[in-house]
Amino acid sequence: MFNKLFLTLALTTLIITISCKSNPTTSENTAPTALFIINPTSGTTITTFTFDASGSSDNEDATDVLQVRWDWNNDGVWDTDYSTAKTATHQYDIAGTYTIVLEVMDSEGLTNTITKTVTVSIANTGPTASFTVNPAIGTVNTIFNFDASGSSDNEDATDVLQVRWDWNNDGTYDTNYSTTKTTTHQYTIEGSYTVKLEVKDSEGWVHNTTTIVTVQRPSTVVTFSDASFEALIRVTLNKPTGDITDINLETITALNGNGWNVSNISGIEYCINLLNLDLRDNSIIDISSLSGFRYLQVLSLGGNQIVDISSLSGLINLILLYLDDNQIININFLSSLINLKELGLGGNQIIDIYPLTQNSGIDNGDIVDLTNNPLSTTSINTYIPQLETRGVTVYH
């Protein structure tokens, strides 16, 4: 009986062991857990948002095995493919609140999703600085008016914008920020000034712009004794009416008054920037007003009644000088005009041309016209040959 009991226990143990081996205990795969963070959590249309799903996990798979994909606006269409890369970036072009969907998939294809929202606002843009000045040209007596009300900003109303001014662009602003867009300024010294305006919006973005203000000396009204000469000046200035000032006359660089029936050129002394002056075929006697024309290069005075040319002695930049058909006798004052290339003296009363030989600038390639003058024998036989030896072409 003992043997029978032992055999029964042994068979039972064998059956239990076989049964356990045929039906082992199993564990089911579980879905991953989706998790992500957004940086920053809000921004603008120029913000690059970073999305990080590295916090996602799975009970069976390591995080680097998990795959993720993203839907940037929860429209049901995935914007990326599955990837084991856990970070991504995205930028939104339009302001709004967006729901982002993350889906995480494990190695057996089980998935899990999570959503978060991000707020996107319109990106701030800097203001645009703009201003006017009235007048743009004035004197030390002028009160200049500055108006920055034309400044603008895409986000802020103009009255919110703040402005400040630098009257001479020296890097130091002369006014504090203010929402007042108009102001005035007066300069005490003549000159050309660069005025800078800086505009600041409500978020601190700034923009600046500049313009030029010209401050002249107070002008002097010029009167003319000769109506014909005044008419010539008005045509040249394109100023048929109104006062003519010294500042107006300083703008003239060329004056063509050939045959204008001018006899008196009083007032021309204010045309200090003349380069070319043609007053041929008039009735001019006195040319003393020309003495200060240091820039003058071409002077045509033929066909007048000029006797005294002493006022020309200082016009050292003259290149072409035509004094033909006048009543000139004394040419001593031409010896200092060393830049002359052409000199017209025909049809005068010149006897002695010795001063021309003393002008060291009259030399090779230059031309001198002495025709129809009562030249002395010495001038003809001695001085003209001396000039010709220097390479000067002399007509006599």
- 144: burial class by Cβ within 10 Å (0-12, 13-18, 19+)? buried
What phi and psi values does residue 90 have, to the nearest 5 degrees? Answer: -155, 150
What's the pLDDT score for residue 27? 73
What's the pLDDT score for residue 23? 46
What's the pLDDT score for residue 121? 87
What's the pLDDT score for residue 191? 95
30 φψ region: left (φ > 0), alpha (ψ -120 to 50), beta (else):
beta
**Sequence ranges of the domains in the chain:** 37-121, 132-216, 227-395
Q: For 200-252, write each residue's pLDDT tens digit.
A: 999 999 999 999 999 988 889 999 999 999 999 999 999 999 999 999 999 99
Would you tell me which CATH number, out of the four given (3.30.70.380, 3.80.10.10, 3.40.50.450, 3.40.50.620), belongs to the domain 227-395? 3.80.10.10
What's the pLDDT score for residue 181? 97
Q: For 166-204, write each residue's pLDDT tens digit.
A: 999 999 999 999 999 999 999 999 999 999 999 999 999
Mark the ranges of the chain whose per-residue pLDDT is less than 70.
1-26
What's the pLDDT score for residue 16? 40
Same fold, 132-216 and 227-395: no
What's the pLDDT score for residue 26? 53
Q: Which fold has domain 37-121?
A: Immunoglobulin-like (2.60.40)
Q: Which fold has domain 132-216?
A: Immunoglobulin-like (2.60.40)
- DSSP structural state of residue 249: H
